[in-house]
Amino acid sequence: MTFRDIVPIIVLITLLAFVPVFITANTVLNFLVFTLIIALAAQGWNILGGFGGQFSFGHAAFFGTGAYAAALLQVRLGINPWIAFAIGAVAGAAVGWAIGYLSFRSGLRGSYFALVTLAFAEVLRILANAAAFTGGAAGVLIKLDVRPENFQFESRGAFFWIALALVGAVLVLTRWIERSRFGAQLVAVRENEAAAKALGVDTLRVKLGAITLSGAVTAAAGCLYAQYFLYVDASIAYGTWISVEAILAPIVGGLGTVFGPLVGAVALHGLSEITKLAAGSVPGIDLMVFGGLLVAAVAFAPEGILGLLRRSAQAKGAARHA
């Protein structure tokens, strides 16, 4: 990876960093922070699903682990929230490695892998909902104590910048994966696992690396969620909604691309706000559109929004040369 590879990322993040300067409305900033959290979770999914071709239907397992770790470490053990945040991401990596070790070692792939990840997330949800340590069904409330060293800020802008910085860091990480030997091996596993193995790629190690990174990134999104909303319960942290969001954004934006998850998350949540404005407060209407969009994306735009843009740019270029 050279410096030129990350120039577009630096430009994009710098431009986005000015948003809170111009927009100070809380509702808009809320929307933006939430969208960035989703984008981060989706970036995690994209490393494993987009580059590695292993479709997890249970990324809630990582998101929830991050969220609960961040909340419980400070509430139950009095650990500083910034340190809790870091431990949360590491916990997500550990859960990722463990789930990966168990399922990849047994040779699970495709639908079976999707199912087993779904089941792991459900087990964690049921446990978190029942155990006393996690607050049971009542969840965990993080005490409001607005101090920067406490990871709580007066302005929503500060949170926006932290979320943006994390998204930017993962963009760089994803770019590095794309350019690295590890990334090439990961794509080889996606395209043809047997051939990759025959060429000497240690497929188990490569997949384990991907799911560990993936778990860490999605767990970081979970930590951020807990820290922003100051509340976690089992159906939020380990709920299927976040697994679905993490799948949708990369597919709509562009599977296996660096910017895909971010573009997808912004497009989906922008659309969801528009539907809510248009249809009023009918519950479920925005998700109904998401579902339809997923089918449409697979049917008509398998490379997502980025793929459509690239194709239309190429068509324009061709028209100009003609």
Contacts with other proteins by CB under 8 A lie at: 53, 55, 57, 102-103, 106-108, 110-112, 114-116, 118-120, 122-123, 126-127, 129-130, 137, 240, 244, 247, 251, 282-288, 290-295, 298-299, 302
Query: Which pairs with CB-CB distance under 8 Å and at least 24 residues apart come from 152-157?
Result: 152/81, 152/227, 152/230, 155/20, 156/20, 156/26, 156/29, 156/30, 156/33, 157/20, 157/24, 157/29
Least distance (Å) from other proteins to the CB of residue 1?
A: 28
Q: What is the DSSP letter of 143?
A: P
Strand partners, 232: 140
Least distance (Å) from other proteins to the CB of residue 272?
A: 11
Q: What is the CA radius of gyration of the chain?
A: 20
Q: Is 232 helix (H, G, I), strand (E, B) or coil?
A: strand
Least distance (Å) from other proteins to the CB of residue 234?
A: 10
Least distance (Å) from other proteins to the CB of residue 159?
A: 29
Q: Is 131 helix (H, G, I), strand (E, B) or coil?
A: coil
Which C-beta is closer to other proteins: that of 1 or that of 126?
126
Which C-beta is closer to other proteins: that of 8 or that of 302?
302
By DSSP bridging, strand 231-232 and strand 140-141 are antiparallel
Least distance (Å) from other proteins to the CB of residue 155?
A: 34
Which C-beta is closer to other proteins: that of 230 or that of 244?
244
Which C-beta is closer to other proteins: that of 126 or that of 309?
126
* Rounded Cα–Cα distance for residues 7 and 9 (Å): 5
Which C-beta is closer to other proteins: that of 112 or that of 133?
112
